[in-house]
């Protein structure tokens, strides 16, 4: 299958631990952000999104934090499972998500040890 994780920063965690993946975004005008998960041989899969009028949003086992002052996003995964192993990308959009395209970050490879 596709090895999308070559040459990417890698985060290795033990099963059951919490994971934190960080992302610095580029455009101060961006006001909508998405975290994607990409497994080998697949396209990016939506995990969670957040708008710039929020600084935190929670989903099922995932939390996204946004710090607009330093243009930083983080994705927290609680009780990490082997199925969470993948490459994670943050993406930004300067139109509130209503139009345009996404600008993707470089990605982080998450490896979960059983």
Partner 1 sequence: ETGVTQSPTHLIKTRGQQVTLRCSSQSGHNTVSWYQQALGQGPQFIFQYYREEENGRGNFPPRFSGLQFPNYSSELNVNALELDDSALYLCASSWTAAGVEGYTFGSGTRLTVV
State the minimum distance, in angstroms, from the CB of residue 38 to partner 1.
9
State the minimum distance, in angstroms, from the CB of residue 79 to partner 1.
26
Looking at the Cβ atoms of 78 and 103, the one nearer to partner 1 is: 103
Per DSSP bridges, beta strands 19-24 and 72-77 are antiparallel
Is residue 11 classed exposed, middle or buried when 0-12, 13-18 and 19+ CB atoms within 10 A define those classes? middle
Looking at the Cβ atoms of 77 and 89, the one nearer to partner 1 is: 89
Looking at the Cβ atoms of 69 and 99, the one nearer to partner 1 is: 99
On whether the CB atoms of residues 64 and 75 are closer than 8 A, the answer is yes
State the minimum distance, in angstroms, from the CB of residue 89 to partner 1.
5
Q: Among 107, 74, 104, which Cα is nearest to 92's?
A: 104
Structure tokens at 50: 């957040």
Contact residues: partner 1, CB under 8 A: 2-8, 32, 34, 41-46, 49, 89, 91, 93, 95-107
State the minimum distance, in angstroms, from the CB of residue 30 to partner 1.
11
How far is 91 from 47, CA to CA, in rounded Å?
A: 11
> What does the DSSP 8-state code read for residue 84?
G
Looking at the Cβ atoms of 19 and 30, the one nearer to partner 1 is: 30
């Amino acid at each position: 299958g596709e090895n999308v994780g070559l040459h990417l920063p890698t985060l290795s965690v033990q099963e059951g631990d919490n994971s934190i993946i960080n992302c610095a975004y580029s455009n101060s005008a961006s006001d909508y952000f998405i975290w994607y998960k990409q497994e080998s041989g697949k396209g990016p899969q939506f995990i969670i999104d957040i708008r710039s009028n929020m600084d935190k949003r929670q989903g099922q086992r995932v939390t996204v934090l946004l710090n607009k002052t330093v243009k930083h996003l983080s994705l927290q995964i609680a009780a990490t499972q082997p199925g969470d192993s993948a490459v994670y990308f943050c993406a930004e959009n300067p139109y509130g998500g209503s139009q345009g395209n996404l600008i993707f970050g470089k990605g982080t490879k998450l490896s979960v040890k059983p």
